[in-house]
Chain A
């Protein structure tokens, strides 16, 4: 069984390199593609996972470190695990004269100086180290605080890296940075972004060649799509839209995309079967015929858009 699987994969690899030789230049380029959405629950993870499985030989970075779910669908063999620490101030009360310069400098209110006491709120600290620099008594050293963990795994010819923010820790960005530090520049990379439009999303999509925006054709989907498009426009990241649960709601997402000249790259219809497979943690492209090709084509289209 294992052997035949391996042979199968070799074939896949062979086909892929053959493909590369025969087709035009855009397919040979390696790209970093982020998947984002604005609104939560529109199908980012589902798209990222199905696309990764369909194209094969890629790396998936799950940057939704608050609620990482991609691994649930891939069920990878975990190959490495490492904790993520953040720099936090460690005040030496013997040297401290309570001058309060550190508290005055800290922009995040992570240090409070009250009469004869220094209070540190490590969960608010961004780890800039400014307090250490401004302390005239050298009373502040570098402590470290565990804020999460990074996990690496493989499934067939895919590798996946994800981060998990520890519950109760507010800052996701340092973990996202750590996940992205594991980026393999030798092959295609897919980044699964968290929902929203603020700092964790920015950190994820920064440096991407393209961003696929997954939306649903509802007023909520459209409203939040407009916000993330504004962000990407400002960052100068090219983008296109995938409409998930097509058939529900109305046509306004399509009108908006047309008006803005944003390409609609794929439509995934609302089907109970897809929802059921999703609920069981199964990538639907593996179970429903035709979808592997659609996701491959989606990725090729993205490459072509990047190449242009």
Chain B
């Protein structure tokens, strides 16, 4: 089984557009939306939910008011300043470490698991999809990504799919790390802007750090061809293959507004053709055909 992650560093470069198009081109695969903070892939692939599972990702300190003697030791000892002046737990600050439970002289504090999100296993026209939603403001999105990927793998094995396509979150922090560990290839989608260039370098470093074979796609390359060329040169010097250069085309937003992947909405557009050629290249690389 092969796994490919689409990532970007910078947000909004077109990860989800490309992930949806790849899913269609792959015909039958498991696609995992690992951008659990802001998942958007379902708006293009319209999953029919088969199963839903609660995600208990984090714990939180809960103070039993009946027992609490208001000594304030918990507030003093909390490493995350998560206990307020009136000795309530600030759920946005509590990281569930449990240090307060050690110090509470009357054992009034317990760590309680909370359902901090949901994982969905769904059917789509082109195979299956595993996606999730972190409850607003919850932490531990890395753990939720791991749960999404675990379910995607089980599903792929059960259904005999030989490919998992992972739509990753932006950034390089914990959910991204969880999205790239152990995959066969990472496609970094960038744009020819100063920010895009800066973030591409960091995303490539991340792939190198985790020993994942990197590929690069320059989206909207014609917004600034100078920068696009700089990216190509940078990649060449670093031995990274640029597998696609996608032109800017408003049809992508139009397709999205119509709830469709550009691959379905306008298969003959220059964008769709370039994504298809990129997919061919990646399939060869991953020996998928």
Q: Which residues of A contact B (CB under 8 A)?
A: 38-42, 45, 64, 66-67, 69, 72-73, 105, 107-108, 126-130, 133-134, 165, 167-172, 194-202, 206, 218-220, 223-224, 227-228, 230-231, 234-235, 248-250, 275-276, 278-281
Contacts and interface: CB of A to CB of B under 8 A. Distances in A.
A38 B40 CA distance: 11
A279 B170 contact: no
Nearest to B58: A107
B137 A198 contact: yes
B153 interface: no
A220 B43 contact: yes
B97 A130 contact: yes
Contacts of B173: 66, 165, 169-172, 200
27 contacts: A40-B170, A41-B11, A66-B172, A66-B173, A67-B10, A67-B171, A69-B199, A105-B98, A107-B59, A108-B97, A128-B95, A130-B97, A165-B172, A167-B202, A167-B205, A167-B209, A169-B173, A170-B173, A195-B37, A199-B138, A202-B137, A219-B40, A223-B43, A227-B136, A230-B137, A231-B137, A280-B194
B116 to A, nearest CB: 9
Interface of B: 8-13, 16, 36-38, 40, 43, 59, 79-80, 92-93, 95-99, 102, 111, 134, 136-142, 169-178, 191-196, 198-199, 202, 205-206, 209-210, 223-224, 227, 250, 253, 256-257, 259
A168 B177 contact: yes
A248 B250 contact: yes
B12 A40 contact: yes
Contacts of B195: 45, 67, 69, 72, 278, 281
A235 B40 CA distance: 24
B193 A281 contact: yes
Contacts of B80: 128
Contact of A198 (B13, B97, B134): B134
Given A67-B202, A231-B136, A196 B170 contact: yes
| B contact patch SS | loop
The 3 closest A-B pairs by CB, nearest first: A40-B11, A41-B12, A281-B194
B144 to A, nearest CB: 9
B142 A170 contact: yes
A195 B40 CA distance: 13
B38 A167 contact: no
B62 to A, nearest CB: 14
Contacts of A38: 37-38
Nearest to B172: A66
A170 B177 contact: yes
Given A167-B205, A276-B224, A218 B99 contact: no
A230 B134 CA distance: 12
Contacts of B206: 167-168
